[in-house]
Amino acid sequence: MKTRQAFRILIAPLAVTLLLTASGVTLADDITVDGFEFKNIRITGLREGQLYFIGPAGERSADLARIKGLKLSSYPELEKADAAIAKKDYRTAAGVLEQVFKRLDKDYLQLIVGSKLVYCLDKSDQFERALVFYVQLLSLDTSPFVQGIKPTNMPSKEAEQKALQSRVEALLRSATTLEAKQYLGEINDALKEGKKIEVDPTTPQSGLVDAAEARRDVVGDFIKEGKFDDALKTIDKQIDDRGVSLSKLLFQRGQALEGSGKDMDALESYMRVIVHYEPRQTDFYVPALVEAGKVFKKLGKTDHARNLWTEARKLIGDDKENRDAAKEVQDLLGSLSQ
């Protein structure tokens, strides 16, 4: 955590927004993350459960699960929904949220408001409607955060269960994501067996296969072949594709820029992975530490390189399967004393 906080300061002079340009943007929203309030910000995007926003101090990000409060200047009625939720008046809150949801034109706002809407519909015994909106959210993003807001309050009356089963089967036929199909299948099976589905709504489901990640890694192939311009062009095309890991694209952008001789730009891209993600969120956190350290060493900033590689070595640990990675980082640290 200390490493991430230190490099938030380091990256500040380099920061430009990833998804939208900051020029001409009005900063008018407020966000509370783990009790700390950021005022006069503007949300710029959301990927993999990570919310990006611009404030007076530059670009920042926060895990959606850590966001405790949000005020959007364009949708003041959201405060009415929050007040209703505080009173446990979930039906009133759901009504307000649904009206706002219909007016939203940006998918990241749909995810933020939609997650509350699913929760309130489920809490107010509107399981079928909650399920419809949940499937819609999964079509926008399949991050652990979205997977973790599953509606679970299934109806107990037989007539309602039969009507729900028909609806679930229809949703199954039209579902577009593996995650939606899996959960709808579980609900369908539970309805057939007359059981209630048991899911902790605060715990994301594990073991799901991201079908998008199984696709051929075109960018990686270009980088291996030394076709860095082609890699960068492909990354620009994929950056808005929610089926592709953003942390992976940021790491690969760093590789392609470094291969093109643009070390400072490469460093910024590697640092975005370190600043915006936790090690548990992406497999590219440690590789980003290693590669950013190499760039810092080239730039003569050996103290920064040492800090990054020391952090990488701690995260790699001493497991046998990580022996090669541990040796690489240990050798890099050794090179600083030569």
Under 8 Å between Cβ of 146 and 183:
no
Residue 165: C-alpha distances to residues 86, 118, 149, 154, 193 (Å): 32, 19, 20, 11, 11
Q: What is the pTM of this model?
A: 0.58
Q: Helix or strand or coil: residue 105? A: coil
Buried b (16+ CB within 10 A) or exposed e, 83-94: ebbeeebbebbb
**Angle formed at CA 180 by CA 177 and CA 181, multiple of 5 degrees:** 85
Write out the chain's pLDDT in tens, 338 residues.
455 555 443 443 333 333 333 334 445 688 877 667 788 888 887 777 778 888 777 777 777 777 777 788 888 888 888 888 878 899 999 999 999 999 988 888 888 889 889 999 999 999 999 999 999 998 888 877 787 788 888 888 888 888 888 888 999 898 888 888 988 888 888 888 776 655 443 333 322 222 223 345 788 888 988 999 999 999 988 887 766 788 889 999 999 999 999 999 999 999 988 888 888 778 888 899 999 999 999 999 999 999 999 998 888 887 766 777 888 888 888 898 76
Question: Which tokens is 122 given?
Answer: 């489920």
Question: Which tokens is 126 given?
Answer: 């509107």
H, E, C per residue of 248-276: HHHHHHHHHHHHCCCHHHHHHHHHHHHHH
Nearest Cα residue to 293 out of 49, 3, 45: 3
Which domains does the chain show, CATH number per domain?
2-71 (2.30.30), 78-209 (1.25.40), 212-335 (1.25.40.10)
* DSSP code string of 286-313: HHHHHHHHHHHHHTT-HHHHHHHHHHHH
Compute the distance between CA of residue 208 and CA of residue 142 in angstroms, rounded to an integer: 10
Q: How many CB atoms lie within 10 A of CB 246?
A: 27
